[in-house]
Each structure stands twice: as structure tokens, then as C-alpha cells.
Amino acid sequence: MPFFDIVTNAMILNSVCILSSIFQVVAQCLARQTSRFIVPPIISIVFILSGYMVFIISYLLSREDREMKIMIGLAIVGTIFVSLNWWENYSTLFRNPFLNSISEDIARSRNLVGILSSVVRILVTAAVVGAYVPLSGRDWSSVTSVPDNVRRVIWILVGIQIVSSALCHWFVVVACKMHAIRRSFLLPVYLASLGVVAAFIAPVIIFYQNLSKTNGANYTMTEYCYDITNGMGLNHNASLPERLVSDITHTLCPEDINDRTEIGFLVGSSLCWWLGWVLCTVYIWGLQLQRIERTQDLFVRRMYEGAFLEQSILLNTHFKIRMKKKVHRPDDPVTVFLCATMWHESHDEMMKMIISMFRLDKYRPKNNPNNDVSFESHIYFDDAFKDLKGSKERHINQYAEDLVEVVQQVYRIFSDDCSGIFREHPFQTSQRIIRTPYGGRLEYTLPHGNQLMVHFKDKLLIRNKKRWSQIMYLYYILGWRLNRKYFKKFVEGDDESELMEKIEKEKANTYLLALDGDTDFQPSAVMLLVDRLKRYPDVGAACGRIHPTGAGPMVWYQKFEYAVGHWLQKTAEHVFGCVLCSPGCFSLFRGAALMDDNVMKRYTTKATEAAHYIQYDQGEDRWLCTLLLQQGWRVEYNAASDAYTNAPQDFKEFYNQRRRWGPSTMANTIDLLGSGSLTSKRNRSISQPFILYQIISMAAAILGPATICIMIAGWHLSLLTLNRKKAGKMIIIHNNSPSFSFAGCLTLILKIHPNLALFLAVVPPVIYLILCFKLKSDTQITIAALLSVLYALLMIATALSIIGTMVKEQTIWTPSGLFIIAMVLMNLITAGLHPKEFHLVIYGLLYFICIPSGYLLLTIYSMVNMNNVSWGTRETGGPAAPKPPTQTITQRILQAKCCKCPCWDCGKLADQNGQVTETVIMDEKSQDYPDLTSQEHHRNVEFHLFQKIEQNWVTHLQNKFHDFHLNEECLATEEEDFWRELQQVYLEPLAEYKEKEKIIANELKELRNKVTFVYFICNAMWLVATFTLQLIGSSVTIKIPKYDLNLNPTGQFLYIDPIGLMFLIGFTSLLLIQFIGMFYHRIYTLIHFVAFLSMKSSTSTIPSDDDMQIPDTLETELNNCMYLDKSLTIQNPAIIQRHKSETLV
């Protein structure tokens, strides 16, 4: 390289694609694809060889000595050897077993091969340098005796090269993942070589023109070369750019720049190499990418060549044979089942969730041939039936009726595709209503073809509560629905091994979206989660960003709490390990993961011990994720997938909700940490450092109450005052808070002794702890609310006290000052990286003053009431329902299939013992009313008949929603048998035994006492340790010099106790880790979102934003469109003409 000019050195690097072009031609020939796609690599070979020929001629014409010939040969052979770097890109296309085996071995041990390759390169480079020095007749002193300024420049250039190469490679990966290949990857990289040459030549031209002005118009380039070569054009104190120009000129001056032939050879060889490189990599223009493309699928090798970066990045891009005819190979079909669990949701909450399901139906119509994802919705309604006085059958309750009404209203809006102002309500196809062994089911065909099933559960027939509803749809969808069709094929004689392969593939591509009854989401949120599971086969579940909705101080507090939890905690878990809890209100699960060993089967475990009730039933979503993690599956978080759910709006409901969450979170985390060694072996996302991170986080959470007490007491501020009197200029500051290390309130405001301040800070929590053991739950919450107000006032004083301390001491360089400033800046920066959620920092002030309530009082309430395993939210009282009546002999005869009377319609209802209860409805023949033919008379007859008979829930719904055409059908025998078997094995209603309930209640209290004792004894030990160290004084403290605001030493010192410093460092480290994880996660969330938008814009089946309107807007339109005339809205004159002859009802 030193023997050639700078232009040749920069452009000859493009010739390293010579073997890649040859490999492309061979691969195309072996694939028998003699199409136009083979032309670019052939022309590329011609250009590169032409460049070599011009290069040889240009230098041999000027110098024919042996040394130049050797250097020319070494340059050409060197580029050919370097081009072997990318042989793996074509090895699998040669259909050579030996090469394929080597490629597979290298792929399996890619990291080790990369390390060994780097070591070998270093050794070879050292060997070449070591051999070149003596062979060239030089002395080693010429290599080692480098001036300091030159050495400094060399290290700077090396650093710039390393950093710039790494950044360039990373930005290339980002551009590809954002689907900006052509404009942000190919064009910049193609122009990089030309840009480098221009950057080298332009300063020389500018410097030459400046000298021409000085020496006259007759100043030639030859004279310029002579002057620069002899150092006449530079000053003794020449700057770095001037020296760079001199070096470039030295490399160009051996060429006769005034000779057009020499310039022609130089330009010709450079353009030949550059065009050959472009044509060799032209296949990248048509590269097809997934929405989320993994780096290993983009590039063959993870390493890049820093010496010729742009060439190596393009040549390292995966090469695929392009067919003559464009063959569309769709991905494996993906089916998403939306599974919502409902109970006592309000009308507005139901509206949000139903609208979200209808949005998906419009987003992905079922009959669209371009669909990559199909959807089916299921709603499982707990405790949907009630006893009705005077009726032999149970009827659906008001909540279930509200749901049917909401579905009907939303159906009307989404089925109206007319865009005009005057429009007609379209005809609604008949929907089905079916009696089932677990209660009943409504089956809707949505306007765009997708299915919606509403499953009404009778708690007398099937087990109640959310976890058992989840088990219902897990076994129904993944067990019955998925396996039934393949079993039929097996019976028909299909190959068993092929069927098993298809089943495994369909399990991997079947996803379940777990929803709560009040969840609101957009279709894009679901698709972003689908992307994660489609692209990464080891991902078992993915969750999105949950936004609490509602109004009031409690909701404002939760908005910031949810924000911080997602911004920092979930992102850190996602980046450094994996998410521990995917919330059940909006999470996507992979069917294969749920059907894995010890997941779905173990999830059916009935709680028989006290700990089971807390871990299994109080936090079912966290337990399910724990099972997935222990089985080796990864759980991910996508911040761009937004979902909205109602949050508790009053203090009592909030405390009861967290009373469930707190103990269950601790139980599942301890279970996961207890099996950490085994889990880390099975799950590659959970490493030992990540387990250590979780242990430190758990310790910080456990010691939270004691830390809050120390913060409130303001001990360290009091010791500051006392020790000043004793030690003169010596300042003693103790810091212990893991969350907010502030100078406290009591000592500052009341001017009392620090020991008394600590006593006053500890007494209220201790008294509240004792009262929680004695008083009822509602009374405990009332007391907690009063204490929360008092603590909020103290927290306001705490915030002002730290500001006053910094002003009084004329320094911010105290642990308390630095910590609070760092916390504020970190939260502001974090919020700034979430622009749409930046306004939530306003609620951070409310969150701050509620810290004692959320981390002290709520902790006490949750621990003491651990034995209360009721749900705590949406609970309403109701009378106990009697058992359903047994089936009579007459009804059995009438229902018999062999002699079923055509004038009777028998409906089935299963009781808790699996027996069938039948309701017989007599449908009198029309011959008794021969003259009644009109629709009005027919309805009068039906009304007369229904007055005579006993209505059931089916006829009740049919009458109430008669314009919605709910047609009763019977359940298939096979499916009925499936439900009965599932009930018997897993879902039979739990019998109530008072003695057993008393035993469980006592066990829960005993567990509560043990956990509470261990929990609060740890906090007591923390308080005692801190108190003892502060009494000992400066003999066991760490001395830190004090600086003023100008960073000048004051001669004073800060003394911090070691425990406080250790905890402060630990907590600060946790926050720093979370912040780094958040920043990393934000970058890749942006990449994913941009890629999603780029593919969304190119897909014609995606509705516009107007179609994805928010529920409030849609509900307003719904209310405006509901008229008294439910069959026709007469707004369009054409419609009026069309319906003149019709009778409007």
C-alpha cells in the first residue's frame, strides 16, 4: 500500500468482491437460474478484472523494476485472499455436504470461532511485521523510535477508526431493521468510497489553488508537487491539516498529474473496481425483510472488517437465489385467539373491550387472502346466571344482559359501511345461542367475518373465578380445537409423523391474547406483540405498556407508578434478563409455551395449602409467567404496544387490589429465586447476575418500611446539628434511605432529639400494625387513609427541608442533595425519552408525597391481611342460588333423538353433577291459527304463547333482543363430551366444607403470622443496626471531604455510616442499571415501531386512523345513531324509494 497513490489505495479495496461475484455466478448456475439475475455478477467480474489490468499497466509503464512488480502482485493476490472472508455467504448454495457441515459447525460455535479468528489475525499480523522488518533490511529502531507527537496522532487515528467503524456498523444494522435499506444503507455505503477519495483530493486542490494565487497563473501541478515534496510550501509550524495535505501530495506526486494518460488510467481502474463492487452487491436492492429482522439473519458473520468497512458490510449481507418468477412464500399462518375474562364490569368498561375486538375484525377481515394473521374472539363471563323467582331455570344476570346489549350496539356501528350522511342499518346475519354443560354460549359472526364467542358460566355447573376461566379457554382452544382436526385426519389414515409435525408448527403459531373485561387497545398494539412472537421462537409471552385510566388522585398516583414501573423496571428486566410478570389484562402467549411440560397442566393445580391460595389464586398472571420462565421460555416487553385499563379510583379499592398483588408478587419472586440455579440452566435469558439483581431488588423492597421511618425521623439532620457543637468544623451526615434520602421532618420541625424523633416515626406504623391484627379490613383502610394525609403533609416538609439544608450549608455535595438531584434529573430524562408520556411527571409530585402510604402503610396492610384471599374488587353481594331441578322422565322421552316429537323443542342444561336438566317449550302448530299470516299477528301469537309457558334464559334473550336474530342451536355431541370430561377432571365446582374451610383459614393466619414476623423483624434489625452505628459516632463512619458550589474544598468533612453508604450505593446502582436498560430499550422500541409503520404504509388492507377511533368518539356516534326505528334509519332518499313497499316495525 505505501508504494501506491492514495486514490489507488482507497479504490482497490472495492476489488475484494472478486470471489463473491464468482460465487454468485456459480450459485446461480447450480440453481439453474440462468435469468437476468446472473448478469450483474458476470459484469462485475469483467469490471474488476479490467480494473486489475488498467492498474497493472498504469504502474508498469512508469516503473518496470522488480520491486514494483512484486508489490502489484501482492496487492492483487491480497485482495483475492481477503475476498475469501465471505465464503460462508455462498457455501450453503453449492450443495456440498462438506461445506454445509463446516458452515453448520461454525454457526453453532460462532462466538468461539470469532475469538479464535481474532487471536489468529493478531498473531499473523505480528508475524508479518516481524518478518518484514529484517527482510527489508531495516532496523527495529525505525519501528520503535516514534516521536511522541506522531504516536499521539496514531493513537487518536486508531481510536477514531475503532469508534467510527463500530458506530457505522451499528447504524447499518439499525437502518436495515427500520426497512430503510436503499436510502439509509446502500446509497450512503456506495458513495462512501467516492466520498473518501473526494475528501482526500479536495484539500490538495484547495491548497494548490491558494499557492497558484501566490506564485502566479503559470504555476503548474508539477511545480506544486516539487515544492511540497521539498517542503517549500509549508511552514515550520504547520498545522495537522497542512501536514495531511503534504502526505497526500507525496502519494500523488509520483504520478505525472499533468499527463492525461496517467490520470485516465487512475480514474479508469478506480471506476472499474467501484462499478464491479456495486454490481456484485446489487442483489441487496431486492432484499426482503421481516418486520423484526434479527442481525444474524441480516449478516452472515457478526464481525466486520475495519480496514475496508463499507465493502465488508455489503458483502456480508445474506445472499439468496432470486427466481425467474417471483414465488410468494407466505409465512406460516398465525392465529390469535382473544380471550377476555369478565365478571362485574360496568357498561362503559364492556364497551371499551368490545369495540377493541370489533376494531380487530375490521383491521384483519377474515376473507382477505393477504391476511398474515387471523383473529377469533372469546369472552368468558364468570357467575353469569342467577335464580329468578317463579322460574325452574336459572337466568342470566344483569351484567350478562348488559354485555349482550353492548355487543348489539357496537355490531350496528361496525356493520354500517355506508359512508354517506343518509344510510341504512344493514341486515344483521343470524347469530347463534347454544346451551352448554357449563352454562351457555353466544356465537357471533362479526361484520368482517371473524368470530366472537361469549361463554356464560354458571357457577353451579363449573368452577368460578378468573384462573379457572383461563383454564377453560386453554384446554378448549389448545386442547379441543387444535387437536380435533388432526385427530380426524389421523383416523382417515394420514401419516402420524407428518401430523405431529403439523401440530407442533400450529402450536408454535397459535397465540392467545389474555384480556380483562375493561381493556382498551388498538390493532397495532396486538400486531406489535405478534411481531415479537413470530420473530423469536423462544419467546413464550409478550406484554405491552399498560395505561391506567380514570380520574381522581388515586388514578393520578397510579399513572406515575405505572409509568415508572414500565419505564425503568420492565425495560431493565427485558434488557438484562426477561420480564417476570406479563399482566393478564393485555398479554400475548404462545400456544406451544403454554402446552409445554409443567405449565398448563400445573396451572390447573387446585389450591390445597395456604401458600397456594396466595401464589396461585391471588396473582394468577404472575404465577403463569413464573411457570413459563422455569420451563425455559422468555417473556418480553414492548413499550410501543399500548393498552388502557381502568384503575381503582377510590382508596379502599386500591388498597384491596394491592393487598392481592403484594403477597403474590413476593411469593412468586421467592419461588423463582429459590429455583434460580435450575432456572438459569434452562432459561438462557435468566443469568446469575440477573438473579443477583432480583435479590437486591427484593431486599430493597423488604427494607422499605424501615427506610421510610428513618427518612421521616430525619435522624441524620439532627446528628448534623449535634456533632457540629461537639466537633467544631466536623460535619456528620448519615444516609440510609433506599428510595429518597432526605433530611427528615420531625427533627427539623419539632426541634427534638434524634432518638425521640425516631421513636415518634416508628410509633405510628407499630400502632397501625397492631390495629390491623384487631380491626376489620374496612376500618384498617380508613385509618390508613387518615395516616396517609398526615404523612403527605410531612413529606411536603421533607422536600422543603432538603432544599433548606442545601441553602443553609451552601453546598449540594451532600449525599442527600446529590441523590435528590440525581433522582429528579433521571426521572426528567426518562420522561423526556417518552415524549407522549412526559406530562406524567406532573403526577410525580403526588407520587412523592404518597410514598409513606404506598411503601409503609400499604405494606403493613398487605402483609397483615395476607390471609384474606377474596378478590377485593368488583365484589357485590347476592343470594345463594339453589340447585337446578332434575330432569323428569317425560322430558327425557321427549328429548330422545330416536323419537323426538317435532312439536317440542328441548333445551339442555347441565347441573354440577353432570346430569341434564331439560326445559320443554311447546311450539303450537300454525294450523291452529290458519288466518294469522302477517308479521304483526305472528308476533302476537308468540307473545301469547310465551305468556303461557315458563321462560328460560334462551327465550329471554331472544325476546329482549328479537331484532338481533339469536337462533338456538344444539351443541355438537363431541364437544359436549369434551366439556363434561373437562368439568369432571379440572373444573368441577368446589364443594364447600366448613371444617376444611376452617382449617385453611387457620393455615392462612399461621402463614400470615410467620411471614409478617420475618418481614418486620428484618425491618426492626435494620433500624437497630442504623441506630447503633449512629450512636457510636464517627469512629465507624466513612470520611468524605466537603466541597462548596464552586467545587472548592472547604476543609470540612462528611461522615457517612457504612450501612447507609452500602445501601445508598446499592440502590443507586439499581437505578443506574434500570436507566441504562431503559435507554437501550427505547432505541430498539423506536426501531421496531418505525419498521412497523413502514410495512403498515405499504399494506393496503390497513384501515385509516379514522377507523381506529377511540371508544368515547365511537360511543358518541353510537348514541347519536340509535333511533326509535331499529330496523331502518331513513336518511337516504334512494333508500326511501327502495323501501316504500315495506312495513316498518
| pLDDT tens, residue by residue, 151-189 | 888 888 889 989 998 999 889 888 888 888 888 888 999
**Residue 909: pLDDT over 90:** no
Percent of the chain with pLDDT over 70: 76
**SS3 state at 873:** coil
Mean pLDDT across the stretch 101-115? 81
Cβ proximity of 966 and 444 under 8 Å: no
pLDDT exceeds cutoff 90 at 474: yes
**What's the confidence (pLDDT) of residue 35?**
63
Backbone angles phi, psi at 294, to 5 degrees: -75, 150
C-alpha closest to that of 672 among 651, 695, 653? 695
Least reliable range by pLDDT among 215-229, 290-304, 392-406: 215-229
Give the mean pLDDT of the chain.
Answer: 78
pLDDT band at 427; cut points 50, 70, 90: low
- pLDDT value of position 843: 93
Tell me if 529 sits within 8 A of 542, measured CB to CB.
Answer: yes
Give the start-end residues of each E strand in 616-729.
Answer: 634-646
State which of 146-150, 229-233, 1067-1071, 1113-1117 shows the largest mean pLDDT.
1067-1071
- Distance in angstroms between the alpha carbons of the first and the last residue of the chain: 93
Q: CA–CA separation, 68 vs 62, rounded Å? A: 10
Q: Is 80 exceeded by the pLDDT of residue 274?
A: yes
CA-closest candidate to residue 182, choices 283, 83, 114: 283
Closest to 57 (Cα-Cα) out of 67, 69, 48: 69
Which residues, other chains included, contact 292 with Cβ-Cβ below 8 Å and sequence gap of 6+?
Answer: 177, 531, 532, 534, 535, 536, 1088, 1091
C-alpha 820/C-alpha 799 separation (Å) is: 9
Do 865 and 1001 meet the contact criterion of CB atoms below 8 Å apart?
Answer: no
CA distance 637 to 644: 16
The rounded distance, in Å, linking the Cα atoms of 113 and 111 is: 5
Q: How confident is the model at residue 1045 (pLDDT cuts 50, 70, 90)?
A: low
Looking at residue 1108, what DSSP letter applies?
G
CB 313 within 8 Å of CB 189: yes
> Where residue 751 falls among pLDDT bands split at 50, 70, 90?
low
pLDDT, tens digit, for every residue of 789-845? 999 988 887 777 777 777 777 767 666 677 778 888 888 999 999 999 999 999 999
- DSSP label at 317? B
CB 706 within 8 A of CB 1023: yes
At 377 the three-state DSSP class reads strand
**For 129-138, 173-182, 680-689, which range has the lowest pLDDT when averaged over its residues?**
129-138
Rounded distance between C-alpha atoms, residue 810 and residue 1043, angstroms = 9
Q: Give the Å distances, CA to CA, from 778 to 185, 775, 858.
A: 63, 8, 13
Average pLDDT over residues 121-141: 81
Q: What are phi and psi of 434, to 5 degrees?
A: -135, 135
Q: What is the pLDDT of residue 601?
A: 92
For position 101, what pLDDT does the model report?
82
**CB neighbours of 766 closer than 8 A, spacing ≥ 6?**
none
Q: Using the predicted structure, report yes or no on whether residue 1125 has a pLDDT greater than 70.
A: no
Q: What value does the mean pLDDT take over residues 447-476?
A: 93
* 1018 contact partners, CB below 8 Å, separation of at least 6: 702, 703, 706
Average pLDDT over residues 928-939: 44
Dist. CA 711–CA 824, nearest whole Å: 18
In which band, very low, low, confident or very high, does the pLDDT at 1011 lie, cut at 50, 70 and 90?
A: very high
Mean pLDDT throughout 484-495? Answer: 82
Residue 876 has pLDDT above 90, yes or no: no
For residue 1020, the model assigns a pLDDT of 92
Q: What is the pLDDT of residues 1065-1123, one digit of tens each?
A: 777 788 889 999 999 999 988 888 888 887 665 554 445 444 444 444 444 444 444 33
* Mean pLDDT to the nearest integer, 579-586: 93
Q: 422 falls in which pLDDT band (50, 70, 90)?
A: low
pLDDT value of residue 380: 96
Q: Which amino acid belongs to residue 892?
A: R
Cβ atoms 340, 517 nearer than 8 A: yes
pLDDT computed for residue 371 by the predictor: 76
Q: Which residue has the higher pLDDT, 272 or 1110?
A: 272
CA distances from residue 926 to 637, 766, 820, 900, 983 in whole angstroms, order as listed? 62, 78, 83, 19, 41
Q: Which domains does the chain have, with CATH numbers?
A: 6-315 (no CATH), 334-698+1100-1108 (3.90.550.10), 703-867+1007-1056 (no CATH), 889-986 (no CATH)
